[in-house]
Amino acid sequence: MKNTFNKLRQKETIIVPSILFVLVLLAYGLLTPHMGFYWDDWPFAWLLRFFGPTEFIAAFRSFRPFLGPIFTMTTALFGGDPFTWQLVGLAIRFLLSLELWYVLRLIWPSQKLNSMWVALLFTVYPGYQQQWVSLTHVNQEIIPLTWLIASFGVTAYAIRNEHLRKRLTILALILQAMGLFSTEYFFGLEILRFFFLLAIFAEIFTVRKDWIKKAAYYWFPYFCVWILNAAWTYAYHHSAAYNSYDISILSSTSFSPLAIGNEILTTISLSGFMSWLNTFSIISTIDGTLTQILSLTILLVSTLIVFISMRIIPNGTTDQPSIKQDSWGPWAMSIGLVAIFAGRLPSWAAGLPLKLEFDYDRFFMSIMFGASLFIVGLATFILKDGKRKVFILSLLIGLSTAYQFSVSNTFRRDTANQRDIFWQMAWRMPAIEKGTVLLTYELPLKYVSDLQITAPLNWMYASTITDRKLPYLLLYIKSRFNSKTLPSLQPNVPIQLQYRTVEFNGSTSKSVVIYKEADGCLRVLDSVYANAETVPGANYFLLNAIPLSNPNLILAQAPQPILDKRLFGSEPAHGWCYFYEKAELARQQSDWEGVVKLYAQAKKAGQSAFIPVENLPFIEAFAMSGDTDTAIKLIERTIKEQSTLCLALYTLWDRVSQIQGSSIGIDTVLQESCKA
C-alpha cells in the first residue's frame, strides 16, 4: 500500500489532467445535452447554414478581419450543430487549462503546487460565466488566448533550452501575432511575458539589474510585434473599413484622476474579490431545490477531490533554483494585479463597463488568469503552505465549480424558454409575409436579444435565402426605439438594418407586435382583439406600438413551419399554450366554432389559462356561439383573478353585441363584477 501511495504521488502528469477534466465536466459539462445556441451563436450558425463557412471572412472584415479565418476553419470542421459546439467548448476549455498549467510549470518549475492551484482556479473562475456561448467564444476568445499562452510557454522553454532559442523564438513570435491580431481582447496581456521573463531570470541571477537587462533583451522582439499590433489596431479603428466600438480611452474624462481611481478600485474589487465571494450564494439560502442539491453535491465532490489530490502531491524539488515561498507570494500577487489590469485594458479603452452580469462578464475572459494568480499569491503570502491554505483554496475551487454548474442551469432554462417561444410562434404564426418586422418591448429571455433572435426567426420562416435581403426582423422597442434602426413608432417610418452581410428593409407599417409575459403564452397584439386594454400596466412604448400591428401579415392558412429539432427541439406536448395559440389564430379568422372546439380539447386535457387574459378569445367565441352560460363563467373567473381586465371585457362585449345583440346576463355580470 505504501509503495502504491508513493507511486501515485509521483504521477503528477496523470493526476493534474484528471482533476482538470473532472472540474470542467462538473462545472460546465453535466447539462451539455440540454444546451443550445446563445447570443451571437445564432447569427453565426445562421450565416454558416445559408452562406457557408467562407461567409465569415466578409462578416468579420469590418471589425476583426483576422478573426474570420478562424471561424471559417472551425465551422468547416465542426459544422453548425449546437451539441457539437458544446462538446468543442468543453474540450478546448480543458486544453486551455492544461496548457496554462504546463506554461506555469515552465516559468516556476519549483512551484509545483502553486502552479496547480492557479490552473485549477483558472479553470472554474466564476467571474466569466459564458462558457456555454460556445460557437462565439471558442472562436472569438478561447482560441486566440490559447495561442498567446502557448507563445508564453514557447518563450519560457526557449530560455530553459538555450540551444533551441532562435528557432523557438520564431515560433513564439508567430503564436504571439496569431493571438494578438485575431482579437483585441488580449492586447494588454503581452506585458506578462516581460514579467514572466523577470521571474525566470530571478532564479538565475542574484543581481536585480541583471534580471531586468536580460528580460528586456529577450522581450525586445515580442515588444516590437506588440507595438506593431498597437499601431495596426489604432490605424484600423480609425479607417473607413472599421465599424464597431470606438476607442474612448483617449477622452479627457477617462484620464481624470477620479475616473482612473474608480476604475482601479472597481476592477480589483470585482475580479479579485467579488467574483469569488459571489460563489457563496449557492449556500446562502437553503431551499431544497434539485439544482441546489446537485450544486452542493458538486461542491462536496470537487472540494474533496482537490483537497486530497493537493495533499498527496508533494511540492517536490527540481534541478532549477527555487524561489522561497515568502517571496513567491508577493511575486504572484504583483504579476496577478498586472495581469488583471492588462486584461481590463481593451474593454476599458472601448468604454465598456466591467460587470458581473451577462453579457459584460465576457470581459473577465482576459482577466481570469490574473485573478487566479493574484488569489493564489495572496493565499500563499497570508497562509503560507499548509493545511489551512489547502483547505481554503480547495473550498474556493469547490464553490466555484458548483457555482458554474448553477449558472449552467440558467443557460439550460434559457434554451427551454427559447424553444418554447419559437414553437408558440410556429403555432400562432404558421407563416409571415416577407418584409415583416416583429416588434416587442422585450422577451423573457436572458441569453439572447432581438438581433440574435432574428436569426432563428428567419431560420423558421425562410427555408431558403436567394439574395442578401433578410426576409424578417425582430426588434426590441426597449433598446432600439429612438435609434437609427427604429427612429419612431409612427406609421410608414422606414426600418433598415445591416445584419452582418445581409440587410433588412421594411417599414413600421409592415409590423406585427408580439408580447409575452414570463408566466404566460406568446400573444399577438392588435387594435381590435388585443389592444392596450388587454395589457394593463404594460410599458408605454409597447402600448404605442400596438396601432402599428397588422395581424393580416400572418398567413393563417399556411402550413406550420418545419422546425429543425437540433435547434428548436422536438414539438412539445400540446399543453395550454398550444390550444391558446391555435385559438388566437382561429379567432383571427373569425372561426368561433374552431375556438370553442379548442377550449373543449384543452379542458379534456386538464389545461386552463396560465394568466387571466388568455380566457378572452374563448369568452368571445362562446358569446359569439350563443353559449352565454360558459361565457359568463369565464368572465367571472377572469375578473376575479384580474379586475384590471374589465375595460378589455367591456370592449369585447361591445364587439359581440354589435353582431349577436345584447345579452342582459353578460351585461349584468360585467357591471356587478367590475364594480366589485
pTM of the model: 0.93
H or E segment to which residue 104 belongs: helix 82-107
pLDDT tens digits, one per residue of 562-606: 999 999 999 999 999 999 999 999 999 999 999 999 999 999 999
pLDDT average, residue stretch 2-28: 77
Kindly report the backbone phi and psi dihedral angles of residue 362, in degrees, each rounded to the nearest multiple of 5, phi listed first.
-65, -25
Mean pLDDT along residues 269-291: 85
The CB density around residue 589, as the number of other CB atoms within 10 Å, is 11
Higher pLDDT, 314 or 184: 184
Predicted confidence (pLDDT) at residue 632 exceeds the cutoff of 60? yes
Q: 510: helix, coil or strand?
A: coil
Q: Which run of H or E residues covers position 174?
A: helix 165-181
pLDDT for 10: 57
Please report how the helices 387-428 and 290-312 are oriented relative to each other, as an axis angle in degrees rounded to 10.
150
Q: What is the pLDDT of residue 676?
A: 63
Mean pLDDT of 437-451: 96
Q: What is the pLDDT of residue 120?
A: 97
Q: What is the pLDDT of residue 317?
A: 43
pLDDT higher at 394 or 324 = 394
Q: What is the mean pLDDT of residues 267-295?
A: 85
pLDDT reported for residue 240: 61
Binned at pLDDT 50, 70 and 90, residue 387 comes out as confident
pLDDT tops 50 at residue 8:
no
Give me the pLDDT at residue 397, please: 97
Q: Which residues contact 21 (CB under 8 A, 6 or more apart)?
A: 94
Query: For 318-347, what is the mean pLDDT?
Result: 79
**Measured in whole angstroms, how far is the alpha carbon of residue 365 from the centre of its chain?**
12
Spatial distance between the Cα atoms of 587 and 618, rounded to a whole number of angstroms? 9
Report which of 364, 515, 349 is spatially closest to residue 425, judged by C-alpha positions.
515
pLDDT for residue 513 is more than 50: yes
Which residues does 475 contact at the CB level (< 8 Å), separation at least 6?
Answer: 437, 438, 439, 440, 450, 485, 486, 495
Does residue 249 have a pLDDT over 70? Answer: no
Q: Are 448 and 136 in contact (CB under 8 A)?
A: no
Please name every residue paired with 549 in a beta bridge, in sequence order, or none if there are none. 511
Residue 192 has pLDDT above 70, yes or no: yes
Q: Is the dihedral of CA 575, 578, 581, 585 positive or negative?
A: negative
Residue 69 is predicted with a pLDDT of 95
pLDDT tens digits, 633-664:
999 999 999 999 999 999 998 888 888 776 66
Q: In the predicted model, is pLDDT for residue 529 greater than 80? A: yes
Residue 320 has pLDDT above 50, yes or no: no
Is the per-residue pLDDT at 255 higher than 90?
A: no
- The Cα 295–Cα 310 span in angstroms is 22
Angle, CA 288 vertex, CA 282 and CA 278 arms, to 5° = 5
Least confident of 128-137, 151-160, 510-519, 651-660: 651-660
First to last CA, the chain: 81
Nearest to 246 by CA among 350, 348, 360, 347: 350
Q: Specify the range with the lowest mean pLDDT, choosing from 394-398, 445-449, 471-475, 482-486.
A: 482-486
CB atoms within 10 A of CB 366: 28
For residue 353, give the amino acid letter.
P
Using pLDDT thresholds of 50, 70 and 90, give the confidence band for residue 319.
very low
* 321 has a pLDDT exceeding 60: no
**C-alpha cell, 141:** 476568445
Residue in the block written with cell 486551455 = 96
Q: Which of 393, 389, 305 is nearest to 25 (CA)?
A: 305
Q: Over pLDDT 90: what percentage of the chain? A: 70
Question: How far apart, in whole angstroms, are the C-alpha atoms of residue 1 and residue 3?
Answer: 5
Give the contacts of 660 (CB within 8 A, at least 6 positions apart).
Answer: 623, 624, 626
Q: Which of the two residues, 1 and 465, has the higher pLDDT score?
A: 465
Provide the pLDDT confidence category of residue 9 given band limits of 50, 70 and 90: very low
In 3D space, the residue among 194, 154, 195, 198 whose CA is nearest the CA of residue 173 turns out to be 154
In the prediction, which pLDDT does 173 show? 96
Q: Is the pLDDT of residue 245 over 70?
A: no
Specify the DSSP element, H or E, that contains 629.
helix 628-641
Q: How many Cβ atoms are within 10 Å of 535's Cβ, its own excluded?
A: 21
User: Which range has the top average pLDDT, 10-14, 289-293, 415-419?
Assistant: 415-419
Q: What pLDDT shows up at residue 244? A: 63
For the record, the C-alpha cell of 381 comes out as 503570502
Give the span between the Cα atoms of 41 and 138, in whole angstroms. 10
Among 29-38, 56-65, 417-426, 436-445, the least confident range: 56-65
State the pLDDT at residue 63.
82
Q: Give the integer Cα–Cα distance in Å for 227 and 232.
A: 9
| pLDDT higher than 80, residue 2 | no
Return the C-alpha cell found at 653.
362585449
**Whether pLDDT at 243 is above 70:** no
Helix (H) or strand (E) holding 497: strand 494-499
For the purposes of burial, counting CB atoms within 10 Å of the CB of 440, is it exposed (0-12), middle (13-18) or buried (19 or more)?
A: buried
pLDDT digits (tens, 9 = 90+) for 350-378: 888 899 998 899 999 999 999 999 999 99
For 194-228, write each residue's pLDDT tens digit. 999 999 888 877 767 777 888 899 999 999 999 99
- Alpha carbon 664 to its chain's center: 55
Window from 384-388, 417-421, 606-610 with minimum mean pLDDT: 384-388
Q: Phi and psi of 168, rounded to 5°? A: -70, -30
Distance of CA 673 to the CA centre of its chain: 46
